[in-house]
Amino acid sequence: MKYELLIFDWDGTLMDSAGHIVASLQGAARDMDLPVPPPEKARYVIGLGLGQALEYLFPMLPESDHPRLADCYRNHYLGQDHTIPLFEGADSMLRGLHARGHVLAVATGKSRRGLDQAMQHTALEPIFTATRTADQTFSKPHPAMIEEIIAEVGGRPETTLMIGDTSHDLQMAVNAGVAGLGVSYGAHTVDLLQGCNPLAIVDTMAALENWLDENG
């Protein structure tokens, strides 16, 4: 196979959670009487670590208030995360790739707690060899997540593919010196994804599975 190690983003790539993240960010802003970010601006920060996202959305907020704002966001999001589905076809695609012999990993802007809960709800944890979250290492687009995963599984950059729905994912791939594949059904627009020169951009989960079958 061309790409032995497949690293997936989670939110907006495997899980249909972008709308929930936007609503939770907006709800947290209302809780603290802050300007509510418009959907397009809230969608832009999906994939970043929570601290980095809040700094971008609320630059006027003193740093001392960031923990309270983060707690407001978590209260909104984690209270409903067990109801958020995977994209249709994601489960069978992942299990098929695993059965075919690919090493699967996750690099996400979620917290460790958030990813662990999502893994528990979806029962996918056994098929992933390695995972990295934004509170474990540097946030995207820093290359650390990818570099640490490659080192952990004994992989090679030239046989690694990063798959994500945001420019943060694809820029992280560029920074780590690995190939990137974009999906346009998540948080970022095709124009933003194209700016990172991915191998391709696919617009459905079925198209993603087909691309990996033919090129992975």
| pLDDT value for 78 | 83
In single-letter form, the type of residue at position 30 comes to R
In single-letter form, the type of residue at position 132 comes to R
How do the pLDDT tens digits run along the chain, 216 residues long?
Answer: 899 999 999 999 999 999 999 999 999 999 999 999 999 999 999 999 988 999 999 999 998 999 999 999 999 988 887 889 999 999 999 999 999 999 999 999 999 989 999 999 999 999 999 999 999 999 999 999 999 999 999 999 999 999 999 999 999 999 999 999 999 999 999 999 999 999 999 999 999 999 999 998
Q: Are residues 97 and 30 in the same domain?
A: no
Q: Specify the number of domains making up the chain.
A: 2
Q: Cα(107)–Cα(139) distance, rounded to whole angstroms?
A: 10
Q: Are residues 188 and 209 in the same domain?
A: yes
CB atoms within 10 A of CB 138: 16
| pLDDT value for 69 | 95
**pLDDT tens per residue across span 78-116:** 888 788 999 999 999 999 999 999 999 999 999 998 999
Q: Are residues 147 and 203 in the same domain?
A: yes
| pLDDT value for 216 | 86
Sign of CA dihedral 94, 40, 59, 167: positive
Full-model pTM: 0.94
Q: Are residues 131 and 77 in the same domain?
A: no
Q: Are residues 75 and 178 in the same domain?
A: no
Closest CA to 107 of 12, 212, 204: 12
Q: Which helix (H) or strand (E) holds 106?
A: strand 103-107
Domain that holds residue 23: 18-82
Q: Are residues 147 and 98 in the same domain?
A: yes
| Residues marked as catalytic | 9, 11
| pLDDT value for 95 | 97
Residue 121: strand pairing partners:
none
Looking up residue 65, the CATH number of its domain turns out to be: 1.10.150
| pLDDT value for 19 | 93
Closest CA to 45 of 58, 34, 32: 58
Q: Are residues 76 and 175 in the same domain?
A: no
Q: Are residues 56 and 71 in the same domain?
A: yes
In single-letter form, the type of residue at position 112 comes to R
| pLDDT value for 83 | 86
132 in Cβ contact with 149 (< 8 Å): yes
